[in-house]
């Protein structure tokens, strides 16, 4: 067996180890590579930046703990920005399995920024239906959510004063790990009730959402941990996402190198088999 | 530090390490974490759905506010349960008919508007634009999604991919060229999607490693280090047991008690 053949039959656990080391080392010894902000992330940031104090910002955290590493940093960065701008924040989720996590994210960000539940922000929790829920919110917010996550009647909350339907919301951002998420908010919400919509998503579903961005159906898109790092850079509060970018770059370089090496070894084997008259394959 | 935070850190660290052990080989620790994940997810969902739907959206409005109109959706929902009784199973069709009817009525117009009309509108863009001076101009900036060159690329991509999925005529001559071009566009799209997927998976790994590093701190009782040691020790013990069983002539799976009793350790398989 030649060296190239041995390398192509390498124990896959060695590759796992390489990726693990490439991830761990930059996390322990960060380099601080530069982060360039993309126009799609800037779209969300600039819209929130343009909102006057007291505007209503609805953040729908449509993910569960499986997508926490990508979407929690996005949620934290967006909430910090909204609270810093003194916006009235409404939190909710379309994913029942993400309810506890979403509540934790909102309450921790609010506590950090000195905001009061019921006065500066509210977490509505989860309610069933997705499409019908969004349509009901577009007709009567209090019918969709008679009480918030803490069982407080929503009609009595100061933060919701003057808000009757989704038409009274200035900006909606859905952080989605799949369906239900950004597309549901567009199809059943924005297209009908004409509020402005932005999005954040996991890397896996980001390519499928670019058509919505290009056509103006959403005004910005934060994609994966990289998008979260860009948002953290924009608001000047570097957190977990920025800390992870060195590791992300290192693993990407490692994977690219592995792909190149595999192809080189494969071509070497094909060439040697061709020369010795053996069938290629 | 509150006890529940400390406990949460130890549980999260342990389960993360248990799941990671699958990268080495299948083992009982991985199975434990996997089954816990499924069980906890289902249990959590059942509790949240019961609390939100049955208690908050049905029971409380009916009993506390006297909103008895909710008996109508409750009744339609209850018809679903008729499927468990063969004699009245037909009643569940009423509930299904209601769901399909309302769902289709809500979704079809909205989806046609959002996914077809809006996307077609965005695809059909002018290939030349008017400059400030009044004459037609063509912009070449590939980085600008609104440039005329990108509009041309989009047009070629859409048309060629549609040709690739057009099976009513044989792909020969110009149609073959168009279909081949479509394959190129599809490959680029798949490559982009795969690149994003790799990025997403690496992000998940970074997220778990970040937590493991945080929980290695003395504030958390160095949970990561202690549990890593315990996990490695369990893997070694599990590996040793596997080797023993293999040398006794059994496969990697655990034998039954009767097989064990009839198995000799001479290195031969039992008859």
- State whether A215 and B204 contact (CB < 8 Å): no
A154 and A252 co-located in one domain: no
* Mean pLDDT, residues B120-124: 86
Cα–Cα distance list, B87 to B74, B90, B96, B97, B101 (Å):
21, 8, 17, 19, 25
A11 and A117 co-located in one domain: no
Q: Look at the block and give the residue holding tokens 């695809």.
A: B123
Please check whether residue B12 is in contact with residue B215, taking contact to mean a CB–CB distance below 8 angstroms.
Answer: yes
Listing DSSP states for chain B in one string gives: --HHHHHHHHHHHHHHHHHHGGGT---HHHHHHHHHHHHHHHHHHHHHHIIIIIIIIIIHHHHHH--GGGHHHHHHHHHGGGGGSGGGGGGHHHHHHHHHHHHHHHHHHHHIIIIIIHHHHHHS--SSEE-TTSSEE----TT-TTSHHHHHHHHHHHHHHHHHT--SS---THHHHHHHHHHHHHHHHHHHHHHHHHHHHHHHHHHHHHHHHHHTSGGGTSHHHHHHHHHHHHHHHHHHHHHHHHHTT--SSPPPHHHHHH--SSS----
* Mean pLDDT, residues A197-218: 92
Would you say residue A180 lies in a domain? yes
A13 and A51 co-located in one domain: no
Confidence of residue A281 (pLDDT cuts 50, 70, 90): low
Cα within 13 Å of Cα(B140), Cβ side: 0
Cα within 13 Å of Cα(A110), Cβ side: 20
Say if residue A147's pLDDT is above 50.
yes
Find residues 238-267 of chain A whose CB sits inside 8 Å of chain B: 240, 243-244, 247-248, 251-252, 255
A65 and A167 co-located in one domain: yes
The answer to whether A19 contacts chain B (CB < 8 Å) is yes
Would you say residue A130 lies in a domain? yes
The answer to whether A42 contacts chain B (CB < 8 Å) is no
Would you say residue A45 lies in a domain? yes
Tell me whether residue B77 is exposed, middle or buried, using C-beta atoms within 10 angstroms of its C-beta: 0 to 12, 13 to 18, 19 or more: middle
Say if residue B259's pLDDT is above 50.
no
Percent of chain A with pLDDT over 90: 80
Say if residue B223's pLDDT is above 90.
yes
A77 and A170 co-located in one domain: yes
Contacts of B4 (CB under 8 A, 6+ apart): none
* Mean pLDDT, residues B3-15: 93
A88 and A214 co-located in one domain: yes
Shortest CA distance from B191: residue in chain A:
A207
Confidence at residue B230, expressed as pLDDT on a 0 to 100 scale:
95
**Of residues A119 and B133, more confidently modeled:** A119
The answer to whether A136 contacts chain B (CB < 8 Å) is no
ipTM for the complex shown = 0.89
Confidence at residue B52, expressed as pLDDT on a 0 to 100 scale:
92
The answer to whether A132 contacts chain B (CB < 8 Å) is yes
A59 and A186 co-located in one domain: yes
Confidence at residue B262, expressed as pLDDT on a 0 to 100 scale:
44
Confidence at residue B263, expressed as pLDDT on a 0 to 100 scale:
44
Confidence at residue A253, expressed as pLDDT on a 0 to 100 scale:
95
Give the domain range for residue A15: 3-30+245-256+264-276
Confidence at residue B147, expressed as pLDDT on a 0 to 100 scale:
84
Say if residue A267's pLDDT is above 70.
yes
Say if residue A234's pLDDT is above 70.
yes
Output the six-digit token pair for A239. Answer: 């957190």
Of B119, B145, B196, the CB nearest to A203: B196
Confidence of residue A280 (pLDDT cuts 50, 70, 90): low
C-beta atoms surrounding A62 within 10 Å: 29
- State whether A252 and B111 contact (CB < 8 Å): no
* Mean pLDDT, residues A93-116: 94
Q: Look at the block and give the residue holding tokens 């799976």.
A: B253
A182 and A132 co-located in one domain: yes
B26-66 pLDDT, tens digit each: 899 999 999 999 999 999 999 999 999 999 999 999 998 89
A72 and A10 co-located in one domain: no
Confidence at residue B256, expressed as pLDDT on a 0 to 100 scale:
47
Pairing of strands A171-176, A56-62: parallel
User: Lowest mean pLDDT: which of A140-144, B10-14, B50-54, B135-139?
Assistant: B135-139
CA–CA separation, B77 and B53 (whole Å): 11
Confidence at residue B266, expressed as pLDDT on a 0 to 100 scale:
45
* Mean pLDDT, residues A142-147: 92
Percent of chain A with pLDDT over 70: 98
CA–CA separation, A113 and A100 (whole Å): 20
Residue A205 belongs to a domain with what CATH number? 3.40.50.10160
- State whether B199 and A203 contact (CB < 8 Å): yes
**Which one of B21, B121, B203, B216 makes the best mutation probe of the A interface by having the most chain A beta carbons within 10 Å?**
B203
Say if residue B240's pLDDT is above 70.
yes
- State whether B110 and A192 contact (CB < 8 Å): yes
Please check whether residue B150 is in contact with residue B140, taking contact to mean a CB–CB distance below 8 angstroms.
Answer: no
B181-208 pLDDT, tens digit each: 999 999 999 999 999 999 999 999 999 9
Say if residue A192's pLDDT is above 90.
no
Q: What is the domain count for chain A?
A: 2
A76 and A17 co-located in one domain: no
Contacts of B9 (CB under 8 A, 6+ apart): B215, B220, B223
Would you say residue A112 lies in a domain? yes
A19 and A120 co-located in one domain: no
Say if residue B267's pLDDT is above 90.
no
Confidence at residue B268, expressed as pLDDT on a 0 to 100 scale:
42
- State whether B207 and A183 contact (CB < 8 Å): no
Would you say residue A281 lies in a domain? no
CA–CA separation, A62 and A127 (whole Å): 12
Confidence at residue B49, expressed as pLDDT on a 0 to 100 scale:
93
A51 and A12 co-located in one domain: no
Confidence of residue B265 (pLDDT cuts 50, 70, 90): low
Confidence of residue A167 (pLDDT cuts 50, 70, 90): very high
CB pairs under 8 A between A and B: 132
- How far A276 CA sits from the closest chain B CA (Å)? 34
Would you say residue A270 lies in a domain? yes
CA–CA separation, A228 and A230 (whole Å): 5
Confidence at residue B257, expressed as pLDDT on a 0 to 100 scale:
45
Percent of chain B with pLDDT over 90: 61
B17-28 pLDDT, tens digit each: 999 999 988 899
B154-170 pLDDT, tens digit each: 999 999 999 999 888 88
């Amino acid at each position: 067996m030649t060296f190239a053949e041995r390398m192509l039959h390498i124990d896959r656990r060695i590759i796992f180890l390489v990726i693990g080391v490439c991830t761990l080392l930059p996390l322990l010894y960060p380099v601080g590579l530069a982060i360039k902000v993309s126009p799609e992330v800037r779209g969300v940031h600039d819209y929130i930046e343009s909102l006057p104090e007291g505007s209503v910002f609805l953040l729908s955290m449509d993910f569960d703990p499986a997508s926490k590493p990508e979407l929690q940093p996005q949620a934290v960065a967006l909430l910090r920005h909204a609270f810093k701008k003194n916006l009235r924040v409404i939190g909710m989720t379309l994913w029942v399995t993400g309810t506890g996590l979403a509540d934790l994210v909102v309450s921790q960000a609010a506590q950090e920024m000195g905001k009061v539940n019921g006065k500066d922000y509210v977490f509505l929790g989860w309610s069933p239906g997705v499409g019908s829920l969004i349509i009901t919110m577009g007709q009567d917010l209090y019918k969709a959510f008679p009480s918030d996550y803490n069982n407080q009647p929503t009609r009595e909350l100061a933060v919701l004063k003057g808000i009757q339907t989704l038409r009274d919301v200035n900006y909606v951002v859905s952080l989605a790990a799949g369906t239900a998420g950004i597309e549901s908010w567009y199809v059943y919400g924005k297209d009908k009730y004409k509020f402005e919509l932005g999005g954040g998503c996991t890397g896996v579903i980001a390519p499928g959402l670019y058509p919505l961005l290009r056509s103006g159906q959403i005004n910005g898109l934060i994609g994966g941990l990289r998008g979260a790092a860009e948002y953290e850079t924009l608001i000047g509060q570097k957190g977990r996402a920025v800390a992870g970018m060195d590791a992300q770059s290192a693993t990407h370089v490692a994977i690219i190198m592995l792909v190149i090496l595999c192809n080189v070894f494969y071509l070497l084997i094909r060439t040697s088999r061709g020369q010795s008259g053996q069938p290629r394959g | 530090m509150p006890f529940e935070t400390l406990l949460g850190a130890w549980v999260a660290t342990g389960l993360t390490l248990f799941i990671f052990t699958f990268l080495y080989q299948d083992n009982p620790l991985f199975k434990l974490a996997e089954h816990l994940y499924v069980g906890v997810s289902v249990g959590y969902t059942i509790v949240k759905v019961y609390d939100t739907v049955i208690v908050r959206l049905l029971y409380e409005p009916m009993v506390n506010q006297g909103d008895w109109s909710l008996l109508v959706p409750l009744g339609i929902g209850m018809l679903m349960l008729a499927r468990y009784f063969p004699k009245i199973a037909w009643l569940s069709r009423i509930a299904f008919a209601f769901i399909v009817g309302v769902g289709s009525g809500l979704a079809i117009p909205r989806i046609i508007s959002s996914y077809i009309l809006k996307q077609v509108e965005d695809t059909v863009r002018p290939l030349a634009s008017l400059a400030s001076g009044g004459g037609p101009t063509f912009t070449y900036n590939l980085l600008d999604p609104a440039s005329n060159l990108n509009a041309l690329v989009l047009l070629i991509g859409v048309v060629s991919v549609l040709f690739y999925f057009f099976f009513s005529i044989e792909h020969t001559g110009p149609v073959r060229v168009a279909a081949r071009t479509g394959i190129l566009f599809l490959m680029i799209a798949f490559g982009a999607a795969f690149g994003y997927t790799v990025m997403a998976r690496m992000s998940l790994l970074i997220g778990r490693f970040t937590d493991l590093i945080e929980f290695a701190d003395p504030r958390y009782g160095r949970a990561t280090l202690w549990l890593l040691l315990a996990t490695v020790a369990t893997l070694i013990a599990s590996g040793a047991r596997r080797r023993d069983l293999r040398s006794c002539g059994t496969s990697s799976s655990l034998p039954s008690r009767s097989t064990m009793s009839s198995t000799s350790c001479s290195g031969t398989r039992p008859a």
